[in-house]
Amino acid sequence: MASASGRCRLIWAAAAALVLTLDAAFVEDLDDSFKDNRKDDIWLVDFYAPWCGHCKKLEPVWNEVGIEMRSSGSPVKVGKMDATSYSSIASEYGVRGYPTIKLLKGDLAYNYRGPRTKEDIIEFANRVAGPLIRPLPSQQMFEHVHKRHRVLFLYVGGESPLKEKYIEVASELIIYTYFFSASEEVLPEYVTLPELPAVVVFKDGTYFVYDEYEDGDLSSWINRERFQGYLNVDGFTLYELGDTGKLVAIAIIDDKNSSAEHTRLKSVIQEVAKDYRDHFHRNFQFGHMDGNDYINSLLMDDLTIPTVVVLNTSNQQYFLPDRRIESTEDLVQFINNILDGTVEAQGGDGFLQRIKRIIYDAKSTVMSVFKSSPLLGCFLFGLPLGVISIMCYGICTVDSFGGVEENETSKKETGDRELTDEGSEEEQEQENKEKSAEISDGEHGQKHIFDKKKD
């Protein structure tokens, strides 16, 4: 029985090793010859460091990406490169941290900034590897694409300076979204355009037309409009929203809490996002966040949910209402007060806030260590404190002994001085006696001479 179970374990281990080997076979290990040999191929490359924990976490996902890209017949080749061993190549491609995912296409290198999941990475690779502008030749094709994409950018018309600008913006923002083109006949009947050519975005069940005079630069407009009007916000979404320059109005709720207070606040945010789009969409992004853990760490505060917070991701300032938001009118009034400057901004990225951030992060790290592993926390923080305490005790003890020795020395010197002074007094007394004797002898001699003269 024991030998049979041992053989089973060996078979399972061998099978697991074989699977890992086969998975890794779809991802090529790249070296310093990669740059000269890649020619016109399109490569999706993971630049990693062997000691990096995030890189190790990405490795099984990366192997799955390699399998999926190979089995789907994608022209994209998947590889990985040790950026610490081939640092010159990594720095040439602008690698600054680990892991860094880049799609290399011709002379261009596109950074991946999305979630590190198989689906998101593959979607990024297929989007960037394909045509920059994808034509939609028929209305059926338009409907098919429209159903697949929550946000759809479309150029309508022929050759024009606007189309050249559209292509230029697409080359910059293809890492975030798709870009399509079509003739006016392809559009559904409900779409009416004031003039041609035009750039249109389809989202939130409707469409919006780019207006150069009202919306400004095309690149900025597309960057702002590439998100739906209402989002389920997390840390990564906030990071991406930082590029839009918008303020982010978020309802902080508990998704698992079905009470009227939580659901009402979420509905209020959704209604304002939809009904007041024309008023606020250029300056505000709306959404909700599940739980207050992330927002508390971001604001270094302790928000009680449900509540509303408005974030300025460009300078880390935030705004809190001075009373509870009960209705859409309350939220609209709060947003208008932010726009006219009557609501005081909190936080920021000033010197004092940075000091506060350092202290907060240090405190959070200590608390998290003790919470996850009390024994490890006691060892990491108790040992240095114990050493410091012993050192301080030793220093204080040395100073104390030194003080005692100095006192004893002082007393001894004082005693010596007293003895010396006493000896001097005895000598003076002896000298005085001798002088008195001499004086007496002198007086006696003088008396004898006086007597002789008298006789």
Place of tokens 């190790």: 56
Q: In terms of CATH architecture, what is 28-129? A: 3-Layer(aba) Sandwich (3.40)
How far apart are the C-alpha atoms of 29 and 137, rounded to whole Å?
A: 41
100 CB burial (10 A radius; 0-12, 13-18, 19+): buried
**CA-CA distance, 224 to 232, in Å (whole number)?**
17
Q: Which of 8, 52, 378, 396 is catalytic?
A: 52
> What was the pLDDT predicted at 23?
46
Say what the pLDDT of residue 370 is: 64
User: What would the 3-class secondary structure string for 40-108 be?
Assistant: CCEEEEEEECCCCHHHHHHHHHHHHHHHHHHHCCCCEEEEEEECCCCHHHHHHCCCCCCCEEEEEECCE
378 in catalytic set: no
CATH 3.40.640.10 fits 230-351, yes or no: no
In which residue ranges of the chain is CATH 3.40.30.10 found?
28-129, 134-226, 230-351
Fold (CATH) for 134-226: Glutaredoxin (3.40.30)
Strand 198-203: give its sheet, edge to edge. 134-135, 179-182, 152-156, 198-203, 206-209
Predicted pLDDT at 410: 55
Burial class of residue 221 in the structure, from the number of CB atoms within 10 Å of its CB (0-12 exposed, 13-18 middle, 19+ buried) = buried
State the pLDDT at residue 366: 67
10 Å CB burial of residue 72 (0-12, 13-18, 19+) is: exposed
Catalytic residue among 8, 55, 378, 392: 55
Which pLDDT tens digits describe the chain residue by residue (455 residues)? 445 555 555 555 444 444 444 445 689 999 888 877 777 789 999 999 999 888 999 999 999 999 999 988 888 999 999 999 998 888 888 888 899 999 998 888 899 988 889 999 999 999 999 999 999 999 999 999 999 999 999 999 999 999 999 999 999 999 999 999 999 999 998 999 999 999 999 998 899 999 999 888 999 999 999 999 999 888 888 888 888 889 999 999 988 888 888 889 999 999 999 999 888 888 899 999 998 888 878 777 788 888 999 998 888 889 999 888 989 999 999 999 999 989 888 887 777 777 877 777 676 666 666 666 676 656 666 667 777 778 777 777 765 555 555 555 555 555 554 444 444 445 555 555 555 544 455 544 444 434 444 44
How far are the Cα atoms of 130, 136, 143, 153 from residue 133, in angstroms, in the given order?
Answer: 9, 10, 17, 10
Q: What is the pLDDT of residue 304?
A: 83
52 part of the active site: yes
Q: Which H or E run contains 181? A: strand 179-182
